Structure 1
């Protein structure tokens, strides 16, 4: 997995090194991730987390640029089912069984940006999500149990659309939605799809 991550980072970096006439800009960003997960085709409760990382942008013209990022975040979903237990001849409720799916990822979004005006741009691209770990936590009356999930692919692909607004030359706000067009599960594993919204702020060094 580490070799795959290094390869994608190398490809992303080489995108910006070719043309030296137009300077690149570098920055940092962070914000909020809200993910929506489908498991067996059933939508789970949304999961909130943060994201943080770095970015590099290479202008192609006054209207177009290419941007690559390296982010850390967590995706997943939550679900609960009523728990029951047979006591004698009766079925007794013992509270809800809660499930928490956690996918910790290093993400490499690469996007093409179009500037409608100097301060406002729209973007389209692909987010390459590398799973660092995939865990399922189960909470029942017998206690909390946590284990690894081996049914998720090491590399997940998320096409996205986004927009960015520059508050100043250095500070900006942006948002994007990553679509669940591709299944996140391995072959013969439980069908799983994940889509997520990311919104936050950033700072570009000049």
Structure 2
């Protein structure tokens, strides 16, 4: 009787340890710390945007995005580049995934036309590159597959902080459908 009870207890503990190891390996797929992403919507518009994100814990992450146009003929964007660090807080049940809110900063450079009066009543326009810094917030959702692929939908709006004579638009935005990969 003692032998069969001991064997049953041993079998039960081995099964429990095996189930625990399987759950840990599935959880570790989601708990990888690094992500690289490309914005697929912007690629179609002639603009390259790449992001790197580091997951701090299950509820927050920090990252940085870089955007620059690569097809100036087909792109309507006046933007030369932006570099945007951000911080995110997640509200999902999975590790650093689900609905999130984001606070971001954005160093941006935009081409603007401004008027120059030559003589009399004739005006000409000259293009000037204007650099500014914006603060803003965004909302989005992130989904992560078991194999580590990341799908993200994000949108945000911000305001440039510095006034200048050449920039009439103080509002900046960022949006996209990002595709990427999560790794250690």
Relative to the length of structure 2, the TM-score reads 0.59
Q: Which has the higher strand share?
A: 1
Give yes or no for contact 2:83–2:107 (8 Å, CA) kept in 1.
yes
Cα offsets for 1:128-150 (capped at 9, x unmatched):
1112x332489xxxxxx984333
Runs of 4+ off more than 2 Å:
47-50, 116-120, 133-138, 145-150, 182-185, 187-191
**Cα distance change on mapping 1:118 and 1:28 into 2, 3 Å:** closer
Residue of structure 1 in register with 2:150 after alignment: 172
1:148 aligns with 2:159: no
2:67 to 65, 68, 73: 73
- In 2, Cα distance between equivalents of 1:148 and 1:188: 11
Deviation digits for residues 151-193 of structure 1 (CA, Å, limit 9, x no counterpart) = x52x11120001001122411100111124x246525654312
SS of the aligned residue for 1:72 comes to: strand
Task: State the match for 1:18 in structure 2.
Answer: none
Matches within 5 A, 1:25-40: 25-32=33-40
Unaligned ranges ≥5, structure 2: 1-30, 70-75, 115-124
Equivalenced residue count is 135
Which SS does the other structure have where 2:163 is aligned?
Answer: coil
Deviations 1:12-35 (CA, angstroms, capped at 9, x unpaired): xxxxxxxxxxx760121111456x
Supply the RMSD in Å over aligned alpha carbons. Answer: 3.3
Answering whether residue 141 of structure 2 is matched by residue 163 of structure 1, we say yes
User: Structure 1: which 5+ residue stretches go unaligned?
Assistant: 1-22, 35-46, 76-98, 139-144
* Cα-to-partner distance string for 1:90-129 (whole Å, 9 max, x where unaligned): xxxxxxxxx8522411111211112135695111011211
